[in-house]
């Protein structure tokens, strides 16, 4: 129970800070069936990425983790968060990027998936482009605005149903504009909050929603060792770990990665991108 509360509290704090609002209410995400994504409208075709098995039409597929019965593969994922109205905070010097973290992943040769908001890409175009062109990494969509797709999502502002698909497509456009040419058709809901209404609204965008099964708790954490232990305790074969690429909101993440990576490798785990887990899952999320 204590661990669950800590996880919710960490995500709650991150959402509240990113939205600059005081309200903070936990939201229980629901799982959906696993249909195949439809063709993307308004987004450049992206050849090759695996998708999940077909299911009921008209609902975005949701992926949480890879197979548990295969080799010990784990995907580290990093949310590059920045809400649409935070430009003035960045201008005053707040760091929504984390170059040290990206450098550590390169140094350790760790494949990773970065879920990037369009606003973050606009603020840090050189970094976005460098991440997108590095074969270690894959870039996926974390919305343009980082507004929530449900009500009561950790204090985040909300985007209306009629704007959900537009927000996702605007993020892809922002990524293309800064030079990320091969963004994956994967989407992470801001705050991880979604419902069936959101899944239906995004179905025409042709994305797979990617959640996680291990919460690192790096949001506003000051004890890197405690965060690293949270990850080490939670990871299983096929796990998707959520962390953050936002220095001001998650200042310990680089140190966490430098501890977790050798720890998991010593236990026989190998690091993969989300696309490899989805390909291995074959619809068995």
Q: Does 5 have pLDDT greater than 80?
A: no
Q: Does 265 have pLDDT greater than 70?
A: yes
What is the average per-residue pLDDT within 154-173?
96
Q: What was the pLDDT predicted at 281?
A: 82
Q: What was the pLDDT predicted at 57?
A: 73
> Could you tell me which residues come within 8 angstroms of residue 4 by beta carbon, excluding any fewer than 6 positions away?
none
Q: What was the pLDDT predicted at 49?
A: 44
Quote the pTM value: 0.83
The answer as to whether 39 is a domain residue is: no
Helix (H, G, I), strand (E, B) or coil at 213: coil
Q: Does 215 have pLDDT greater than 80?
A: yes
CA distance 211 to 239: 10
Q: What was the pLDDT predicted at 282?
A: 76
Q: Does 32 have pLDDT greater than 90?
A: no
CATH number for position 232: 3.20.20.370
91 pLDDT band, cuts 50/70/90, is very high
What is the average per-residue pLDDT within 223-228?
98
Q: Does 48 have pLDDT greater than 70?
A: no
What is the average per-residue pLDDT within 17-41?
32
Count structural domains, the chain.
1
CA distance 104 to 107: 5
Question: pLDDT tens, 174-214?
Answer: 999 999 989 999 999 999 999 999 999 999 999 999 999 99
Q: What was the pLDDT predicted at 217?
A: 96
CA distance 82 to 231: 24
Q: What was the pLDDT predicted at 161?
A: 96
Q: Does 30 have pLDDT greater than 60?
A: no
The answer as to whether 23 is a domain residue is: no
The answer as to whether 61 is a domain residue is: no
Window from 35-49, 105-119, 168-182 with minimum mean pLDDT:
35-49
Q: What was the pLDDT predicted at 45?
A: 30
The answer as to whether 220 is a domain residue is: yes
Window from 26-30, 63-67, 279-283 with minimum mean pLDDT:
26-30
- The position carrying tokens 């580290």 is 76
Query: What is the domain range of residue 176?
Result: 67-281
Q: Does 24 have pLDDT greater than 70?
A: no
What is the average per-residue pLDDT within 217-242?
97
The answer as to whether 127 is a domain residue is: yes
How much is the mean pLDDT over the chain?
A: 84
What is the average per-residue pLDDT within 24-40?
31
56 pLDDT band, cuts 50/70/90, is low
CA distance 238 to 66: 4
Q: What was the pLDDT predicted at 82?
A: 94
Q: What was the pLDDT predicted at 27?
A: 34
The answer as to whether 249 is a domain residue is: yes
**Rg, Å, the chain Cα set:** 17
The answer as to whether 137 is a domain residue is: yes
The answer as to whether 53 is a domain residue is: no
CA distance 40 to 208: 11
Q: For the chain, give the number of residues.
A: 285
What is the H or E stretch that residue 140 is in? Answer: strand 137-141
What is the average per-residue pLDDT within 11-31?
37
For the chain, give the percent of residues with pLDDT over 90.
76
């Amino acid at each position: 129970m204590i661990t669950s509360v800590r996880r919710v509290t960490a995500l709650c704090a991150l959402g509240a800070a990113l939205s600059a609002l005081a309200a903070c209410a936990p939201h229980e995400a629901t799982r959906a069936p696993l249909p195949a994504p439809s063709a993307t409208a308004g987004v450049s075709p992206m050849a090759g990425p695996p998708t999940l098995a077909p299911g009921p039409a008209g609902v975005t597929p949701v992926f949480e983790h890879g197979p548990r019965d295969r080799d010990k593969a784990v995907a580290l994922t990093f949310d590059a968060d920045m809400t649409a109205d935070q430009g003035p905070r960045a201008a005053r010097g707040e760091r929504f990027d984390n170059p040290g973290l990206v450098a550590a992943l390169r140094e350790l040769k760790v494949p990773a998936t970065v879920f990037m908001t369009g606003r973050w890409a606009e603020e840090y175009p050189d970094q976005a482009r460098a991440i997108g062109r590095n074969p270690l990494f894959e870039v996926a969509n974390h919305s343009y605005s980082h507004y929530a797709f449900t009500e009561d999502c950790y204090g985040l502002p909300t985007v209306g149903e009629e704007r959900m698909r537009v927000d996702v497509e605007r993020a892809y456009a922002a990524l293309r504009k800064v030079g990320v040419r091969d963004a994956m058709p994967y989407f992470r809901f801001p705050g991880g909050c979604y419902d069936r209404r959101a899944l239906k609204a995004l179905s025409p965008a042709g994305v797979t929603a990617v959640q996680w099964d291990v919460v690192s708790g790096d949001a506003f954490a000051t004890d890197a060792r405690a965060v690293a232990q949270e990850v080490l305790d939670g990871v299983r074969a096929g796990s998707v770990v959520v962390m953050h690429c936002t220095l001001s909101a998650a200042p310990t993440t680089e140190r966490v990665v430098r501890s977790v990576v050798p720890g998991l490798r010593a236990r026989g785990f190998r690091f993969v991108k989300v696309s490899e887990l989805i390909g291995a899952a074959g619809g068995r999320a």
